[in-house]
Structure 1
Amino acid sequence: MTDSDKVFAGSIPGLYDRYLGPLLFEPYAQDIAQRLADVKEGRLLEIAAGTGIVTRALDRALPPKVAITATDLNQAMLDHAMTQLRSARVRWQQADALALPFKDGEFDVAVCQFGVMFFPDKRKAFQEALRVLKPRGRFLFNVWDSLEENEVSLTVTDAVAGCFPENPPQFLRRAPHGYHDVAAIRRELEAAGFGAIKVETLPKLSRASSPRDPAIGFCQGSPLRNEIEARDPKRVTEVTEIATQAVAARFGNGPISCKLQAIVVEARK
């Protein structure tokens, strides 16, 4: 992880939500909402809510008696999320996953979609999730499997790397796809105090309206943009076009379909 891996600012939140949301995050947001179908009341904490893709899915799926607190370290992401959802039972709050600003045992459920990989101290984040959960509270999260198991992400990574062969950007490999060792995840959850750990590898087939969508999403709507700009700020548009061509060569010029693969983890206090 580098400092730039955690910078979601400027135009990134809006582009992230528009281009990567439907392709990468909505399929797994629906999965999380379905896994929580038995939650009928109580308090739910979302950690690393980002632009609110899971928040919106939970708001649609869960009964009105479930109160949702959606948090993220990046205020810019929350600011965008709040423009996408107006719900009386959702509270938005800036929060660091390593120092959650909540009392012990406040929540019945904690959820985190594709955020754990960015935490600089996973065990500390798990300990904080455990602390704010009630006895027998549930912690549900997912992480991306390896880059090689996620076709479009790998295609864009290789295309962008080819633009800077002497210093290839590796944000996607290093950060989003850098935490998929199931044995290590289990060990850190157990060390934090969690039990009844269940792990599932979950492939999905996702779609985008064109090869340009993932290229814009990754090259301009994620911290990969920060890496491109650090090498040459004038090349963002050019690199996006090269990534678009690579995605088109791999998946076709029209609407595309690609394999995603994530790891879904559930644990109990």
Structure 2
Amino acid sequence: MSTDDTGFAGSIPAIYDRHLGPFLFRPFAEEVAQRAGRWKPRSILETAAGTGLATEALAEACPDAEIVATDLNQAMLDVARTRLPPRVELQPADAQALPFPDARFDLVVCQFGIMFMPDKVAANREARPVPGDGGHYVLAVWNRLEENPASRIVHEAVASLSPENPPAFLARTPFGYSDPARIEHDLLAAGFTDVEFETVKLRALPEAEANDAAVGLVCGSPLRTEIEAFGPDALDWATEAAREAFRAAGEFDPRLSAHIVTAIR
């Protein structure tokens, strides 16, 4: 079974953007952008920018800032380009080895990306904002799967595909890096000296539905690769299993929980 947790290609970026945007990512994009706007940064680097959901919010909150958004997957940036103003520069780059000089930016943002990076200390070390009070590094990191009920329902539904060898992407990667002590350790090891945590509870946007969670997580994330390994009909079966689990649960639960982490060099 494939465990390529960074593979966002083919039809995944468009499905991710359409379904996971209102369900998971836009609420926190607005939260992070509001915080960024208060600092009035002159230059912003975003790593693991994906399809530009947080980038768009940052561009609106910081209209005078230079913004460079990077992602490992060109296919994700291609979707991002369709929503972002021309002043935002998009560049494919590995967050663990960025092509920028030290202290190039006074704000570095990584929304729900650090969990995907094999060497998290290296990724943090590369995120070097301007030293001191003028520079900030902001991470959004999902809280435990148990604190994100809709994602937990999908995880449990697709696990029934193979109880002996269940697809575990959601628990392993996006929701598998939720321990504040571990996150703080990796930031301190990268050279940051001041780390602040806030666990923020939001809700999916009003237009988000159970189908967005089912289709978005099953078909619009690397979970798809794990499921497809079970056979040609597995993706349809898993999507329907997730839908059925939501029907059994009753009303869609839009609660979301994540850590917003701010670090200073």
* Map of 2:236 onto structure 1: 237
- Answer yes or no: is 1:199 the counterpart of 2:200: no
Q: TM-score scaled by structure 2?
A: 0.94
Deviations 1:45-72 (A, max 9, x none): 0000001000011111112x20100000
Deviations 1:184-240 (A, max 9, x none): 111221121112211011111224543222111011111111110012232211211
For the aligned residue pairs, the C-alpha RMSD in angstroms reads 1.4
Alpha carbons of 1:251 and 1:144: their partners in 2 closer, same or farther (altered >3 Å)?
A: farther
1:171-182 to 2 correspondences below 5 Å: 171-182=169-180
SS of structure 2 residue aligned to 1:245: helix
SS of structure 1 residue aligned to 2:94: coil
SS of structure 2 residue aligned to 1:107: coil
Deviation, structure 1 residue 6:
0.8
Deviations 1:86-133 (A, max 9, x none): x13200000001100011211111000000001101111111112xx2
- Answer yes or no: is 1:263 the counterpart of 2:259: yes
Deviation, structure 1 residue 73:
0.6
One-letter amino acid of the counterpart of residue 108, structure 2: A
2:188 to 190, 196, 203: 190
Deviation, structure 1 residue 251:
3.7
| Structure 1 alignment gaps of length 5 or more | none
One-letter amino acid of the counterpart of residue 260, structure 1: L
8 Å Cα contact 2:150-2:253 kept in structure 1: no
1:126 to 124, 127, 144: 124
Deviates more, 1:19-28 or 1:226-235: 226-235
* Map of 1:72 onto structure 2: 71
> What is the rounded CA distance, in whole Å, between the counterparts of 1:209 and 1:109 in structure 2?
30
* Map of 2:11 onto structure 1: 11
> What is the rounded CA distance, in whole Å, between the counterparts of 1:40 and 1:138 in structure 2?
11
SS of structure 1 residue aligned to 2:30: helix
One-letter amino acid of the counterpart of residue 108, structure 1: D
> What is the rounded CA distance, in whole Å, between the counterparts of 1:101 and 1:93 in structure 2?
10
Count of residue pairs the alignment pairs up: 261
> What is the rounded CA distance, in whole Å, between the counterparts of 1:218 and 1:3 in structure 2?
15
* Map of 1:135 onto structure 2: 131
One-letter amino acid of the counterpart of residue 52, structure 1: G
Deviation, structure 1 residue 10:
0.4
> What is the rounded CA distance, in whole Å, between the counterparts of 2:49 and 2:203 in structure 1?
23
Alpha carbons of 1:152 and 1:41: their partners in 2 closer, same or farther (altered >3 Å)?
A: closer
SS of structure 1 residue aligned to 2:108: strand
Deviation, structure 1 residue 159:
0.5
> What is the rounded CA distance, in whole Å, between the counterparts of 1:5 and 1:55 in structure 2?
22
* Map of 2:91 onto structure 1: 93
| Structure 2 alignment gaps of length 5 or more | none
